């Protein structure tokens, strides 16, 4: 099957990506890790634009995990600065392309200026609906589930919620991804075949695609390969 032969309904509505391999890409190309992250951020723009053109509706990228604080102070501060520059640079463009930007994860541990910028971009793009770009920053799936459980428990304790009435839908509405459909396709680059605490609830029935290509080398052609692989699969959701 070729990408050009796919019909619109074979394009995934929601693609989630664990963008991995920036560091190894830098090392193999004789560059600094920072340069790997910069190339990775530029590639988010490329893949975001390509998915928008293809007719997908959501792109969710894992950019910083709750575990990534274990990296050196230099690398953490570079990554936070890169996020800030990305949002400043892309806000206008996102609005022009009618893209809603969301940030999922626990913002409470982020620097106040970055948090304010995130909230401003989320607010100023909240009404846009052609495409949805979501960054997972200080995101951990288990942390997200614990935060949702705490919020539900508080409501129950205050008598605002009867625990017996909690359904999967109620629970999902307390997650950071409330209101978003679950990913159809999850891609991880760089050869690692694990999900590293990314969207454990939401990926329950997603198709998974792993490629050895490092994230900065993940071109639109590589994206097309992933989508062709996705389109060739039989999704079942437990049925037959
Ligand atoms: C992914 O690239 C980006 C982040 C996790 C922020 P890595 O930095 O994990 O790259 P490798 O895995 O060291 O090659
Ligand atoms: C996962 O990549 C997190 C992000 C891409 C932000 P890591 O490189 O941090 O994950 P592990 O440590 O290889 O599982
Ligand atoms: Mg990595």
Whole-model pTM: value is 0.97
How far is the centre of ligand 2, averaged over its atoms, from the C-alpha of 163 (Å)? 35
Q: Enter the tokens of residue 148.
A: 């949702």
Query: Which ligand does the CA of 188 lie closest to?
Result: 2
Query: Which ligand does the CA of 21 lie closest to?
Result: 1
How far is the centre of ligand 3, averaged over its atoms, from the C-alpha of 20 (Å)? 5
Ligand 2 atom 2 nearest Cα: 20
Instruction: Determine the residue of 21, 62, 77 to mutate for testing ligand 1's pocket, defined as the one with the most ligand atoms within 8 A of the Cβ atom.
Output: 21
pLDDT at residue 240 is higher than 90? no
Smallest CA-to-CA distance from 130 within 155, 82, 94 is with: 94
Pocket of ligand 1 (CB under 6 A): 19-24, 64, 68, 79, 190
- Encode pLDDT of 156-202 as tens digits: 999 999 999 999 999 999 999 999 999 999 999 999 999 999 999 99
Task: Tell me the pLDDT of the chain averaged across its residues.
Answer: 97
Ligand 2 atom 10 nearest Cα: 196
Query: Which ligand does the CA of 29 lie closest to?
Result: 1
Ligand 1 atom 1 nearest Cα: 20
| Residue 181 DSSP class | P
Pocket of ligand 2 (CB under 6 A): 18-20, 62-65, 68, 192, 194, 196
Is 186 within 8 Å of 197 (Cβ atoms)? no
Q: Enter the tokens of residue 230.
A: 């996705």
Q: What pLDDT sits at residue 56?
A: 98
How far is the centre of ligand 1, averaged over its atoms, from the C-alpha of 19 (Å)? 7
* Contacts of 116 by beta carbon, 8 Å cutoff, 6+ apart: none
- Encode pLDDT of 63-108 as tens digits: 999 999 999 999 999 999 999 999 999 999 999 999 999 999 999 9
- Radius of gyration of the CA atoms of the chain, in A: 18
How far is the centre of ligand 3, averaged over its atoms, from the C-alpha of 165 (Å)? 40
pLDDT mean over 213-222: 98
Banded model confidence at residue 235, pLDDT cuts 50, 70, 90: confident
Ligand 1 atom 13 nearest Cα: 23
Active site residues: 20, 68
Closest ligand 2 atom, residue 62 Cα = 6
The owner of tokens 């770009």 is 133
Ligand 2 atom 12 nearest Cα: 196
Q: What pLDDT sits at residue 22?
A: 98
How far is the centre of ligand 3, averaged over its atoms, from the C-alpha of 140 (Å)? 15
Rounded (10°) CA dihedral 35, 36, 38, 43: 150
| CA dist list (Å): 107 to 21, 178, 181, 191 | 24, 16, 22, 29
Banded model confidence at residue 6, pLDDT cuts 50, 70, 90: very high
194 by DSSP, 3-state: which? coil
């Amino acid at each position: 099957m070729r990408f050009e032969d796919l019909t619109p309904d074979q394009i995934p509505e929601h693609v989630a990506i664990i963008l991995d391999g920036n560091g190894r890409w830098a090392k193999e190309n004789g560059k600094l890790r920072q340069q790997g992250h910069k190339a990775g951020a530029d590639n988010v723009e490329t893949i975001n634009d390509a998915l928008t053109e293809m007719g997908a509706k959501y792109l969710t990228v894992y950019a910083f995990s709750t575990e990534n604080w274990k990296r050196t102070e230099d690398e953490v501060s570079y990554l936070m600065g890169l996020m800030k520059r990305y949002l400043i640079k892309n806000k206008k463009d996102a609005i022009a392309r009618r893209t809603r930007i969301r940030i999922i994860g626990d913002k409470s541990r982020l620097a106040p200026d970055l948090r304010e910028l995130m909230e401003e971009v989320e607010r100023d793009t909240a009404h846009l609906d052609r495409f949805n770009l979501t960054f997972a920053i200080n995101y951990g799936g288990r942390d997200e589930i614990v935060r949702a459980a705490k919020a539900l428990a508080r409501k129950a304790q205050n008598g605002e919620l009867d625990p017996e009435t909690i359904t999967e839908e109620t629970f999902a509405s307390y997650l950071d991804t409330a209101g978003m459909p679950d990913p159809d396709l999850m891609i991880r680059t760089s050869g690692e075949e694990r999900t590293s605490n990314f969207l454990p609830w939401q990926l329950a029935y997603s198709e998974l695609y792993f490629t050895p290509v490092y994230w900065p080398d993940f071109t639109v052609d590589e994206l097309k390969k992933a989508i062709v692989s996705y389109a060739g699969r039989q999704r079942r959701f437990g049925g037959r």
